[in-house]
């Protein structure tokens, strides 16, 4: 074929050549991935071995979660080699299982904890890991912690180690807990956006960012109470771990400028002198120190260790043998915002969670259900779909125990009401028994842009909910009455399930948030304890002495299952570039601007992604995203 000679022809010919080259690259790339999958499947995965004397390496990189957010398995498989944007999440139960089994494993000599890249996680999850570290130390084995710098959440875990090591240019950043919110009322006015607010409960502050420029007195009172409760728990725990007076850390923070002046601004020297840490070393010196304490690996350049994820894989058969076959306790994790319809793991869909509960109802092998809730709520309609299915499970004679994670508030509490027993941590954020509606209209915004809305309708209500029109009083009155009905339903459910009067529930409801400890004192929670306590309670209610647990999840497709298995295939992963699993090599990017963006994004999602059919929401906005210890 002759090459074109005209300028347009040359241009089109060049585009065609670029297209053919791009197509070849894509097809060759897909072929290479397919070839890797086939070869890895044929080779199989070699067993992971645990060398005697190994330290269990807890290199915590990401956010602690009760349930991982669903990610396409192919993205997970290629994440390390292609730098794909895959959420870094750490399954809490994996960490707890590894620690507890390692305590009894003669091959494991110690734990090396590196919380350097641990991001903001719920306080109750940190408490669960700290309790497991204490159990490990009680077995006679040592825990070492190393960090370039410690945030207060990272330091909470490190404080429970036998030896806390800090980089010789590092610091311990303690500042206290806070709940600050961005307020958009003035900005919305300038943009001509009218957000119509409907709510019941003076403490229901999730809507305040859209109607105010500052925090209300009621929200300030409630937030101060639950934050104060959690802060006192934090101080008590780290003071006990570091064997100092309970008031030591609080006084240190409030006088930090004068404390630093005593060391001419040297935060590392302050941390060492004030007993926040035990040892100050560089990264290389830390490795040498740990080699001396634990022993060297086969290279002689690093300490002998096994990452906790590889350790779980190596001991998978042993874990399975611990489980009795006498009876089954089902566990369903309800984590994330509640939406109408179906959602993937990491969010809660009313329909998708209902299907999982129905699966438990219809499975005669499962004797009881534990529902692990880590949610600030969401759609009122979806919450009721879930609650009704749980009530049906109890009517069928199967015990239901709720285990509250870091957050189980508003809609998260609504779905807990059918439970035989509710368990929470002292630091769980719960309550927020209230309801609200948000309806933004853009008539003024459209007008400023030269856009207008006009038309006709057959009734006064027809077309009332077009965003280009102001919300008429008729529609506003309808929404408010539905809201009042929703609130009455909420407090009635709580009153019936907790054996309380409507007046007593209303007194502690009104949208107010409580700590788990306060919630138990008020009768909203039965017992304080973790997931293991809830499982034991469910077994007792079901009359089971020997039992095993079964995690109930939505099944993957065969293709997704294959890719997920390959993502954990050691042979295939060894062919792909890997990040080192030893000491950290870079500081985490936790900028103030990044935190602002995430907060703004979460607030805007509340406006555009909530999908309740009636526009009614059981959601605790202040419970999520603002508290990162």
Residue pLDDT, tens place only, 36-49 = 555 555 555 556 78
Which residue out of 410, 425, 432, 515 is catalytically annotated? Answer: 410
In this structure, what DSSP letter does residue 281 have? E
Q: How many domains does the chain have?
A: 2
Same domain, 283 and 379: no
User: Does some domain include residue 250?
Assistant: no
Range 190-204 average pLDDT: 77
Range 299-312 average pLDDT: 93
From 317, 346, 367, give the residue that closes a domain.
317
Question: Which H helix or E strand runs over 199?
Answer: strand 194-200
Range 458-473 average pLDDT: 85
Tokens of 144: 């070492």
302 in Cβ contact with 291 (< 8 Å): yes
Lowest model confidence (mean pLDDT) among 52-56, 98-102, 264-268, 572-576: 572-576
How confident is the model at residue 7, as a pLDDT? 57
CB atoms within 10 A of CB 543: 10
User: Does some domain include residue 7?
Assistant: no
Tokens of 274: 């004030």
How confident is the model at residue 580, as a pLDDT? 43
Residue 603 has pLDDT above 90, yes or no: no
Same domain, 425 and 286: no
pLDDT tens-digit map of 366-390:
999 999 999 999 889 999 999 999 9
Angle at 488 between CA 482 and CA 491, to 5 degrees: 140
User: Does some domain include residue 200?
Assistant: no
Which residue out of 171, 204, 425, 427 is catalytically annotated? Answer: 204
Q: Alpha helix locations (H) across 172-266? A: 185-191, 208-211, 217-242, 248-254, 256-261
Lowest model confidence (mean pLDDT) among 168-172, 213-217, 615-619: 615-619
* Highest-confidence segment of 450-454, 559-563, 579-583, 606-610: 450-454
Lowest model confidence (mean pLDDT) among 5-14, 102-111, 612-621: 5-14
Q: Alpha helix locations (H) across 44-91? A: 73-82
User: Does some domain include residue 252?
Assistant: no
Same domain, 296 and 351: no
From 294, 317, 340, give the residue that closes a domain.
317
Q: Which residues of 490-504 are buried (b: 16+ CB within 10 A; e: fewer)?
A: bbebbbebbebeeeb
- Residue 224 annotated as catalytic: no
The pTM score is 0.81
How confident is the model at residue 369, as a pLDDT? 97
* Highest-confidence segment of 208-217, 331-340, 475-484, 590-599: 331-340
Same domain, 298 and 428: no
Domain of residue 297, CATH code: 3.90.226.10
Question: Which H helix or E strand runs over 10?
Answer: helix 7-43
In this structure, what DSSP letter does residue 398 have? -
Q: State how far the Cα of 362 lies from the Cα of 360, in Å rounded to an integer.
A: 5
How confident is the model at residue 602, as a pLDDT? 62
CB atoms within 10 A of CB 628: 17
Same domain, 282 and 383: no
pLDDT tens-digit map of 395-422:
999 999 999 999 999 999 999 999 999 9
Range 300-321 average pLDDT: 85
382 in Cβ contact with 618 (< 8 Å): no
pLDDT tens-digit map of 259-285:
999 999 999 999 999 999 999 999 999
Q: At what angle do helices 73-82 and 558-567 cross, to 10 degrees?
A: 30
Residue 534 has pLDDT above 80, yes or no: yes
Q: Alpha helix locations (H) across 262-315? A: 267-273, 283-294, 308-314
Same domain, 313 and 327: no
How confident is the model at residue 570, as a pLDDT? 45
How confident is the model at residue 435, as a pLDDT? 84
Angle at 364 between CA 361 and CA 369, to 5 degrees: 50
Q: At what angle do helices 350-362 and 380-395 cross, to 10 degrees?
A: 0
In this structure, what DSSP letter does residue 340 have? S
Q: State how far the Cα of 61 lies from the Cα of 66, in Å rounded to an integer.
A: 15
525 in Cβ contact with 449 (< 8 Å): no
Q: State how far the Cα of 74 lies from the Cα of 564, in Å rounded to an integer.
A: 8
4 in Cβ contact with 17 (< 8 Å): no
Same domain, 386 and 491: yes
Same domain, 398 and 300: no
Same domain, 311 and 337: no
User: Does some domain include residue 297?
Assistant: yes
Alpha-carbon torsion (546, 551, 557, 558), positive or negative: negative
Beta bridge partners of 307: 57
How confident is the model at residue 525, as a pLDDT? 97
141 in Cβ contact with 55 (< 8 Å): no
Alpha-carbon torsion (275, 277, 282, 284), positive or negative: positive
How confident is the model at residue 443, as a pLDDT? 83
Which range marks the domain in which residue 62 is found? 54-172+277-317
Residue 157 has pLDDT above 90, yes or no: yes
Give the list of residues 6+ apart from residue 489 with CB closer than 8 angstroms, or none. none
- Residue 540 annotated as catalytic: no
Range 347-361 average pLDDT: 95
Residue 163 has pLDDT above 70, yes or no: yes
**What are the helix and strand counts (H, E) for the chain?**
25, 21
Average pLDDT, the chain: 83
How confident is the model at residue 581, as a pLDDT? 42
Same domain, 311 and 413: no
Q: State how far the Cα of 585 lies from the Cα of 193, in Å rounded to an integer.
A: 46
User: Does some domain include residue 272?
Assistant: no
Same domain, 557 and 484: yes
412 in Cβ contact with 428 (< 8 Å): no
pLDDT tens-digit map of 75-129:
555 554 444 455 588 999 999 999 999 999 999 999 999 998 898 788 999 999 9
pLDDT tens-digit map of 241-255:
999 998 999 999 999
Range 483-511 average pLDDT: 92
From 289, 317, 345, give the residue that closes a domain.
317
Q: State how far the Cα of 287 lies from the Cα of 103, in Å rounded to an integer.
A: 23
Same domain, 347 and 408: yes
Give the residue with greater pLDDT, 615 vs 216. Answer: 216
3-class secondary structure, 534 = helix
User: Does some domain include residue 506?
Assistant: yes
User: Does some domain include residue 513?
Assistant: yes
């Amino acid at each position: 074929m002759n090459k074109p000679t005209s300028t347009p022809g040359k241009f089109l010919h060049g585009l065609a050549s670029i297209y053919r080259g791009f197509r070849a690259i894509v097809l060759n790339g897909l072929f290479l991935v397919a070839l890797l999958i086939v070869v890895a499947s044929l080779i199989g995965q070699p067993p992971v071995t645990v060398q005697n004397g190994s330290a269990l390496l807890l290199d915590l990189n990401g956010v602690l979660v009760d349930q991982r957010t669903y990610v396409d398995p192919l993205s997970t498989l290629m994440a390390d080699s292609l730098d794909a944007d895959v959420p870094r999440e750490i399954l809490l139960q994996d960490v707890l299982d590894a620690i507890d089994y390692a305590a009894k494993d003669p091959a494991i000599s110690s734990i090396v904890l590196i919380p350097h890249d641990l991001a903001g996680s719920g306080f109750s999850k940190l408490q669960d890991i700290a309790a497991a570290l204490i159990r490990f130390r009680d077995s006679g084995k040592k825990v070492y912690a190393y960090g370039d710098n410690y945030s207060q959440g990272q330091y909470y875990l490190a404080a429970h180690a036998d030896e806390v090591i800090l980089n010789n240019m590092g610091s311990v950043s303690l500042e206290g807990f806070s709940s600050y919110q961005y307020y958009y009322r003035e900005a919305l006015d300038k943009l001509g956006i009218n957000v119509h607010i409907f709510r019941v409960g003076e403490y229901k502050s999730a809507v305040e960012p859209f109607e105010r420029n500052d925090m209300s007195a009621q929200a300030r009172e409630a937030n101060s109470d639950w934050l104060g409760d959690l802060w006192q728990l934090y101080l008590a725990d780290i003071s006990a771990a570091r064997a100092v007076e309970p008031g030591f850390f609080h006084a240190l923070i409030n006088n930090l400028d004068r404390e630093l002046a005593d060391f001419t601004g040297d935060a590392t020297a302050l941390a060492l002198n004030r007993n926040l840490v035990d040892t100050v070393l560089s990264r290389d010196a830390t490795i040498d120190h740990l080699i001396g304490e634990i022993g060297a690996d086969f290279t002689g350049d690093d300490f002998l260790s096994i990452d906790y994820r590889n350790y779980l894989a190596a001991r998978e058969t042993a874990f399975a043998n611990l489980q009795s076959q006498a009876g089954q306790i089902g566990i369903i994790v309800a984590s994330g915002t509640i939406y109408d319809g179906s959602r993937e793991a990491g969010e809660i869909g009313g329909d998708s969670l209902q299907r999982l509960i129905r699966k438990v109802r219809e499975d005669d092998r499962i004797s009881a259900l534990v529902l692990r809730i880590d949610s600030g709520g969401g759609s009122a309609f979806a919450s009721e779909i879930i609650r009704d299915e749980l009530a049906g499970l109890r009517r069928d004679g199967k015990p239901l125990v709720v285990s509250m994670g870091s957050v189980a508030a508003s809609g998260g509490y609504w779905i807990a009401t059918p439970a035989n027993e509710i368990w929470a941590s002292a630091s769980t954020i719960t309550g927020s028994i209230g309801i609200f509606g948000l309806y933004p209209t853009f008539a003024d915004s459209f007008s400023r842009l030269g856009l207008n809305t006009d038309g006709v309708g057959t009734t006064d209500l027809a077309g009332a909910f077009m965003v280009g029109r102001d919300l008429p009083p008729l529609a506003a009155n309808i929404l408010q009455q539905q809201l009042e009905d929703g609130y009455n339903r909420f407090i009635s459910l709580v009153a019936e399930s907790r054996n309380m009067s409507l007046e007593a529930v209303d007194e502690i409801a009104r949208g107010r948030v409580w700590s788990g400890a306060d919630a138990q004192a008020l009768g909203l929670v039965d017992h304080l304890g973790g997931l293991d306590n809830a499982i034991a309670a469910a077994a007792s209610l079901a009359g089971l002495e020997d039992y095993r647990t079964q995690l109930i999840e939505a099944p993957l497709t065969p293709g997704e299952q294959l890719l997920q298995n390959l993502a954990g295939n050691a042979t295939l992963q060894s062919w792909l570039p890997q990040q080192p699993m030893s000491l950290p090599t870079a500081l985490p990017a936790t900028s103030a601007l990044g935190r602002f963006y995430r907060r703004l994004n979460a607030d805007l999602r509340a406006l555009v992604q909530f999908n309740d059919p009636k526009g009614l929401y059981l959601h605790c906005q202040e419970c999520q995203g603002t508290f990162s210890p």
